[in-house]
Every structure is written in structure tokens, then in C-alpha cells.
Amino acid sequence: MPLTRFAPEHYADLLQVKANKMQALFAPFGAPPLEVHSSPPEAYRMRAEFRLWHEGDDLYYAMFDPQHPKTPLRVTEFPIASTTIQAAMPELLRRLKAEPALRRKLFQVEFLSSLSGQLLISLIYRRPLAEDWLEQAQGLAGELGVQLVGRSRKQKIVVDKDYIEEQLELQNQTWHYRHYEQGFTQPNARVNIKMIEWACAVAAESAGDLLELYCGNGNFTLPLCRHFDRVLATEVAKSSMAAARYNQQWNRVENLELVRLSAEEVCQALAGERQFRRLRELHKPLQDFNFSAVFVDPPRAGLDAATERLVCDFDQILYISCNPHTLRTNLEHICQSHTLQRLALFDQFPYTDHVECGAYLRRREESENEPAKPG
């Protein structure tokens, strides 16, 4: 994100521009009034990464303009980052400059923070890490009060822990999450809370069972379990599934079944095309679930054709998207059988063109008119 676009005094106007574009994008589907959920204008980003640039004795954080990819831009402050990251950045740089074992061949640093104030720092090197690095890294982690990970090619050294823990206050309940280094987490925690609350409000009057695809570490899954009899959630990434299992146990959610399957494999299993050994671990057979709703949070490419057909088999569809254009493409098929009931914009990425959005659809009754095809 170009730092020159950071303009808190214009945040409300910039958000309105996004909202106008999104409302127009979905107007052909008879979209209801857009629900707009804003971000804090500053200190909202819980993750950040920088190149470490060496110039003689000098060392500084750097970013690059895509138009000039070989020219480093010195970063002296980063006001969109969480206050935890902002406080750590100068202290980390001071220690790195003073310790040759920590500085040598260091080319990247990654920060992962939580609302609870925890911080994990990953230092990425172009050299193998030895005992002198570990000794200095332990001192650094202790002085800064952070978790620290060192990485180089085919090497990972963890100083104490490679994760942080988060607490989110949702629906008058505290939910606990473990976020692993290099695992996916929502970058804007305050907006993430609004996204989860919106999804739970949509699901509040639901009944039966829920199928969730792309569940990640259980970010939406765990609070949604309060609104359904049983939830079957799937995810293909091993690290995310491990985090989801831990988070389920930590939050004592008992009506949730977690299975490591891709969306494609779920389609095959529900169609009876393939049998998977992992499904034998379920407490009841897949065909005995009473699915009334499906929740999807796919990657930027959206739903593939098979998954698109699958979700149309459900009475209710809850779709979180990080790309409104692929969501619109999916809706061209989905809205042939379903009606768009609610549409929301979540401003995860202020001062950029990126938009996170949510759509809630219900199966159209036979008596309802056929929808107009979007132009």
C-alpha cells in the first residue's frame, strides 16, 4: 500500500467512494441497501512485513513502489500498523544494528500482533543460523517481550513459541484464538470482529446444520456454532486445520466437526463420487447431517464451478469475499435460484482499492418472479 495515500482526515470520504462503487457493482442483482462497516482510520493493521535494507553501517525498514521495484523507500514510521507493532519497530531496529549475529544477511522482518498485546517477530535470513544467532535472539526476545522466529533456507528456529494468542469479545462472550507464524489471519482485527458479528446476526434465526468451506483457523466457525445444531467445517491447509482444532478445544465448542478436505473434495463427497477416510472420523455419517445453510470464505479467485453448483443446493448461503468482482461472477449463477437478501462492505484495507464484502442469499420460492439477468 503506498504510504502517500494514508489520509485519516479523508477516511470517511474515501470509504464512501468504495461504498458507491460496490453498490453499483451489485445493483443488477437487486441488491438491498449496502451495510457499511468502517475501520479505525489508524493503527488497524495487525500484520506487517518489511525488507531490511543495508547501507554501510546503516540499517532501515524498506518498502518498494511497484513502478520502481529496485529503489528502496525508507520507512521511518508505519501509522496503519497496530500500536504494538509501531512500538516495537524502532526498538527492534536498534538491537539489530548493535548485534552483528542478528544483523548479518538479514533481509526481511515480519510482524504479527494481537489485540491482546502479544507480538511475534520473524527474522528472515540469507544464511544458515548458528548458535551465536540463537544466543542473541534469546536476549532480543526477552528484552522486547516478544515471540521470535528465525528463518533461512530449509531452517526454522523458534525462540519459545511460534504463535501468539488472541482474545475477541463477541456476543457477550470472549473467544480465544491461536495465530501461528505464517498462518493466515485476518489483517484488521477490529473489522474482523464486525465481520463475525455480522455473520452471526445473519445466522441468528437459522436452524439445522451448517456446512462451512475454507474455515481457516475457525475464525468464523466457532461463534457461528452457537446458531446451528451441528457444524461441519472443512479446510485443506494443515497448519490452519491444526489451529482450528486447538481453538475448538480451547473454546469448548462441542457441536463442531472439523475435517481436512478441500472444497473440491467436499463436492465429491456430498455427490457420492468419492469416499474419504477422513470422513470416517465424523460422529455421524455425512449423509445424516441436516444441512440448511452453507458458509464460504474462498480465496480471491472465488468459487470454482463445482463449488458454485454445490452452494446452490442449500436454502441459505453466507458468502464472505475478499474480491467483490469474483463474488459478482459467482452471483450470476447463484442468483438464478437464490435472492440476495443482505450485502455488506467491511473496510479491512483503508486507503486502498481492496474491499472485503459479505453476501447473504436465500433460496427463491417457486411463486417468486424470475430474477433479471445482470448486464
Structural domain of 68: 47-164
Q: Is 374 contained in some domain? A: no
Q: What is the CATH number of the domain that holds 359?
A: 3.40.50.150
Determine contact, residues 22/357, Cβ cutoff 8 Å.
yes
Residues 32 and 52 in one domain: no
Q: Which helix (H) or strand (E) holds 177?
A: strand 173-180
Instruction: Specify the pLDDT at position 367.
Output: 55
Q: Is 169 contained in some domain? A: no
pLDDT of 161 > 90? The answer is yes
Residues 51 and 30 in one domain: no
Q: Rounded mean pLDDT of the chain?
A: 92
Determine contact, residues 217/239, Cβ cutoff 8 Å.
no
Lowest mean pLDDT among 202-206, 252-256, 371-375: 371-375
Domain boundary among 111, 134, 164: 164
Q: pLDDT tens-digit profile of 304-341?
A: 999 999 999 999 999 999 999 999 999 999 999 999 99
Lowest mean pLDDT among 63-67, 112-116, 217-221, 329-333: 63-67
Lowest mean pLDDT among 187-201, 264-278, 313-327: 264-278
Q: Domain tally for the chain?
A: 2
Residues 224 and 339 in one domain: yes
Q: pLDDT tens-digit profile of 233-243?
A: 999 999 899 99
Residues 248 and 115 in one domain: no
Contact partners, residue 66, CB within 8 Å, separation at least 6: none
Residues 351 and 227 in one domain: yes
Q: Is 174 contained in some domain? A: no
Percent of the chain with pLDDT over 70: 96
**Band of pLDDT at residue 3, cut at 50, 70 and 90:** very low
Lowest mean pLDDT among 63-72, 144-153, 255-264: 63-72
pTM score: 0.93
Which residues, listed in sequence order, are joined to residue 293 by a DSSP beta bridge? 210, 316
Domain boundary among 105, 130, 164: 164
Q: Which residues are designated catalytic?
A: 322, 356
Q: Is 218 contained in some domain? A: yes
Q: Is 172 contained in some domain? A: no
Residues 138 and 191 in one domain: no
Q: Is 25 contained in some domain? A: yes
Residues 244 and 114 in one domain: no
Instruction: Specify the pLDDT at position 373.
Output: 55
Residues 63 and 87 in one domain: yes
The rounded Cα 145 to chain-centroid distance in angstroms is: 25
Residues 213 and 352 in one domain: yes
Domain boundary among 100, 129, 164: 164
Output the CA–CA distances (angstroms, integers) from residue 178 to 219, 243, 246, in the order listed.
10, 6, 8
Instruction: Specify the pLDDT at position 190.
Output: 96
Q: What is the CATH number of the domain that holds 158?
A: 2.40.50.1070
Average pLDDT over residues 104-113: 97
Output the CA–CA distances (angstroms, integers) from residue 342 to 15, 131, 180, in the order listed.
19, 56, 33
Residues 32 and 74 in one domain: no
Residues 347 and 240 in one domain: yes
Q: pLDDT tens-digit profile of 207-254?
A: 899 999 999 999 999 999 999 999 999 999 998 999 999 999 999 999
Q: Is 375 contained in some domain? A: no
Q: Is 36 contained in some domain? A: yes
Cell numbers that stand for 362 in this block = 436465500
Residues 146 and 198 in one domain: no
Cell numbers that stand for 143 in this block = 528484552
Instruction: Specify the pLDDT at position 2.
Output: 43
